[in-house]
Amino acid sequence: MSTPLTVALLGCGTVGGAVLRLLGEQADDLAARIGRPVEVAGVAVRRPDRHPEVPPHLLTTDAHGLVTRDDVDLVVEVIGGIEPVRSLLLAAFEAGKSVVSANKALLAEDGSALHAAAAKAGVDLYYEAAVAGAIPMLRPLRESLAGDQLRRVVGIVNGTTNYILSRMAETGHGFTEALAEATELGYAEADPTADVDGFDAAAKAAILASLAFHTEVTAADVHREGISAITATDVARAAEIGCTVKLLAICERVVNGGGDSVAVRVHPAMIPTTHPLAAVGGAFNAVFVEAEAAGQLMFYGQGAGGDATASAVLGDLVAVARNRVAGVAGPGVTTYAGLPARPIAETPTRYHVGLDVADRPGVLATVAQEFARHGVSIATVRQDGHGDAATLVIVTHSAPDAALSATVDALRDMPAVRGVTSVLRVEGLS
Ligand code: HSE
């Protein structure tokens, strides 16, 4: 019990600072849960003068020297980004250290190589905080659901965009006004690109899909669309059909005769207000899982924030520390299924299309014909208004995404169509 386990902390921003503080505040409980006390060996930062909260003797700018120090047992990485972190973590594995990381971009780009390096060294790599902050989601996929077959994982995994879309629904405002409000309140960063254009969610989707389907999926395999083109009209149209607009990360196993594949996509979509994900408002995250035996599962909570994310980091730290005390490594990650990535063009989706049309005999028929010509079956049609101000709202059945987008392109060129006013995918309708 007496010899402490020592931790190298890489990075000391919002999450790192919370990890450091909680390690101190909860030292006795953590020691009791692990079986040995945990001590911080050092904190690597770029600018030591900016960290008055850290005891000066712990601060260093030499991250490589810290992670390879003989007296370090575990490395906690909360720097983010690809390099120099990848090199630091590979050096840590080679030196026999287990790693806890919150780095979604690195895991989504190079997770397989990192897992291989950890396995070769007989150490652990855990990264619960990389996806959906505080929500225990990755270890349930890695461990609790390891005996099941997963069909789909659908998540709201970006709090910034969920806040913006929630405010658009509540206020009727457009994207620009809602983003300005999110920025003012600190929900959106000064440069919101990673969030609003879906990069953050795509990295998380790649990690979720890899674990769910035992297949290597990288961010480059993920079809990505953000929310900056979502209009107040889209949000109003969604409400008219009992739906709400969410940015979804959708990971699914597509089963067909020619062999299964994995389709992973991030895009805004209308979902019914009765769907469990529709109730996830503000900056919260949630992940909905469908498995063969378990059925439907939902995980909900805070996707960001210093203490919330630090909770996930510390949970991993306890896990890897317990393994270290027991002299074992925890369960690794398998990619034995090796399923191919299915391109978005071939992925079955459903569309909601709003059209401004002339209200004349035969217009509906010619519009319907365009859907038929592309092999797309229509589920519902509604006409609002008449004369020069008629609107058709069409919801399709499922069809390959390429057929749906080709239909929309053709509709834009039809003389009878004055304008395509809203195009959004629809998910979760029976
Ligand atoms: N920027 C992310 C979000 C949190 O808005 O949810 C960190 O992944």
User: Under a CB-based contact definition with an 8 Å cutoff, are residues 408 and 353 in contact?
Assistant: yes
Question: According to the model, what pLDDT value does residue 358 have?
Answer: 86
Residue 110 CA, ligand 1 centroid: distance in Å: 20
- State how far the Cα of 179 lies from the Cα of 186, in Å rounded to an integer: 10
Q: What angle do CA 341, 346, 350 make, to 5 degrees?
A: 120
pTM: 0.96
Q: Cβ of 257: how many Cβ atoms within 10 Å?
A: 4
Report the CATH number of the 344-426 domain: 3.30.70.260
- Which residues have any ligand 1 atom within 6 Å of their CB? 158-160, 195, 200, 303-304
CB atoms within 10 A of CB 40: 19
For the CA of 159, the closest atom of ligand 1 is: 6
Chain centre to alpha carbon of residue 65: 33
Q: State how far the Cα of 354 lies from the Cα of 150, in Å rounded to an integer.
A: 34
Start-end of H helices in 217-338: 232-240, 306-326
Determine the residue of 195, 207, 248, 307 to mutate for testing ligand 1's pocket, defined as the one with the most ligand atoms within 8 A of the Cβ atom.
195
Q: 352 CA to middle of ligand 1, Å?
A: 28
User: What residue ranges of the chain have pLDDT lower than 70?
Assistant: 1, 430
Please say if 204 is a catalytic residue: yes
| Residue 360: per-residue pLDDT | 87
The rounded Å distance from CA 384 to ligand 1 centre is: 39
Domain 138-302 CATH superfamily: Dihydrodipicolinate Reductase; domain 2 (3.30.360.10)
Cβ-count burial of 26 within 10 angstroms (0-12 exposed, 13-18 middle, 19+ buried)?
Answer: middle
Write down the CATH superfamily of domain 5-131+306-326.
Answer: NAD(P)-binding Rossmann-like Domain (3.40.50.720)
- In this structure, the chain runs to a length of 430
Q: What is the pLDDT of residue 52?
A: 96
Question: What pLDDT, on the 0 to 100 scale, is given for residue 349?
Answer: 96
**Interatomic CA distance for residues 405 and 403, integer angstroms:** 6
The pLDDT, as a whole number, for residue 430 is 67
Is the backbone peptide bond immediately before 84 cis, with ω within 30 degrees of 0?
yes
| CATH 3.30.360.10 domain range(s) in the chain | 138-302
Residue ranges, comma separated, of all CATH 3.30.70.260 domains in the chain are: 344-426
